[in-house]
Amino acid sequence: MIKKRLINSSFTFFLLLAISANSQSKKWTLEECVNYAMEKNISIKNTTLDKELAEISKKDAYGSFLPTLNGNASHSWNIGLNPDITTGLLRNQTTQYSNVGINAGVDIYKGLQNQNRLRKANLSIIATQYQLTKMQEDVSLNVVNAYLQIIFNKENLKVQQEQLGYENKQMERTQELVDAGVVPKGDLMDVKSTVATTTQRMIAAENALLISKLSLAQLLQLDNFQEFDIADSSVPVQESSILLQEPKTIFEKAKEIRTDIKLAETNVDIAQRDLKIARGAYQPTLSGFYSFATRASYSDRLIGVDADNTPIIAGPKPVLDQFDENKGQNIGLSLNVPILNGFSARNNVARSKVALERSKITLEQNGLDLERTVYTAYTDTKGALKSYEAAVSTLEAREQSYNYAKERYEVGLMNVFDFNQAQTLYVNAQSEVLRTKYDYIFRTKILEFYFGIPIVQTQ
């Protein structure tokens, strides 16, 4: 029995270990990150709730076309002085009454306000969809930027690790030369100083990589962000065909497809509907109404007199019989003509006009902002490409200079200080290539995004 329990415990332990190892080995692709952000991001969830509220508002607008129907019922006790049905004199007594009724009403004409509210509700749903799309686009851009930052930090860390590995070998070789009396001990101290500096750069690169991973994991709303990592990949640098387009062409395309422009246009339409709703208050309203009511009393009643003129008293009639006898109906039309309402209608119209002008200005400003953004993005992308090409050329020159310095140092024709200078310039050139590479890639993504090319293919 004990052996069986040990076997079961061991199996459970290794199963959990396998599950843990599998979860830790999960490496996220860019597509997975973007898709996950679309589902879990808090800002996107909030915007989705705004869309649900817009759907509810549309139901309210539909409801304004329906008639109102309300039932009412009451039962009361009248305690105090009431006429005595036998003597006609007032005396303290308690009487009970029941009332039942139903009321219905319907708007026949209301200055087209109900129709305009329904059209506004439909526009509000479209606006919230644009808001959701814009939020998804913004989150996608942030995810792509964070993802590329991790790749950059990974490659930069590899450069620092390779450099540190070479410098450790160089320190060992210098130690041997110092022991053999070939080079002075000061050269060894310089090499050790260089190793320490490179070690610091490597630690800084490790920290930058960790922080970039945490940033993306938090952007994705991951709980176990300590184990988060992305798939190892190298993004190639390709000259995008988007740079073959003219900035004006990209701007005209962006005006057609950009969500913020569509949202601003929809807000103008909503403001126009608000103005029509406000103007509808100037017009008379016509409504129909219908009511039905009945009542019952629980008091004794006088049903006649006998031969001696003595009142004959009977109890109350059955409640249902009274309801049937006492029922009554009321039906009619009600016309309401606004004459003076404290300038509320006029002020609402004036406010709606201001809101309409404000929305038009916002639309115009968004167009100007988009034009400036597109032209800036185009210029930045071309500049980033040139910077990358220049960095590659610099790296090639620094690599040749470094290899030449290495050869001279190894045969004793260059001191360690000058060699370290050449080595530092070479490492800096490598880092600059990485920086300009991913700067160009991200700026290209943004420019393609304005031209309607998806940031990443999502599910």
| Each residue's pLDDT tens digit, 276-303 | 999 999 999 999 999 999 998 887 776 7
Phi, psi (deg, nearest 5) at residue 407: -65, -45
Final residue belonging to a domain, choices 169, 202, 234: 234
Q: Write out pLDDT tens, residues 216-243.
A: 998 888 877 778 888 877 777 777 788 8
Residues 118, 191, single domain; the answer is yes
Closest CA to 385 of 247, 250, 235, 240: 240
Angstrom distance (rounded) from CA 136 to CA 351? 33
- Pair of tokens at residue 128: 């919230």
CATH code: domain of residue 416: 1.20.1600.10
| Global confidence as pTM | 0.79
Q: Helices in 280-343 by DSSP H: which ranges?
A: 319-325
What's the domain range around 94?
Answer: 71-109+289-337
Q: How many CB atoms lie within 10 A of CB 379?
A: 12
Residues 6+ apart with CB under 8 A from 12: none
Return the pLDDT at 90.
72
- Pair of tokens at residue 336: 């309401």
Residues 162, 278, single domain; the answer is no
Q: What percent of the chain has pLDDT over 70?
A: 92
Residues 176, 267, single domain; the answer is no
Quote the number of domains for the chain: 3
Return the pLDDT at 84.
65
Q: Write out pLDDT tens, residues 251-262.
A: 999 999 999 999
Residues 266, 395, single domain; the answer is yes
Radius of gyration of the chain measured on its C-alpha atoms: 42
Q: Is 438 a residue whose pLDDT tops 70?
A: yes
Instruction: Report the Cα 141 to chain-centroid distance in Å.
Output: 13
- Tell me whether residue 297 is in a domain: yes
Residue with tokens 């509320």: 344
11 contacts 117 by C-beta, under 8 angstroms:
no
Residues 332, 372, single domain; the answer is no
Q: Write out pLDDT tens, residues 169-214.
A: 888 887 887 888 777 888 788 888 888 988 998 999 999 999 999 9
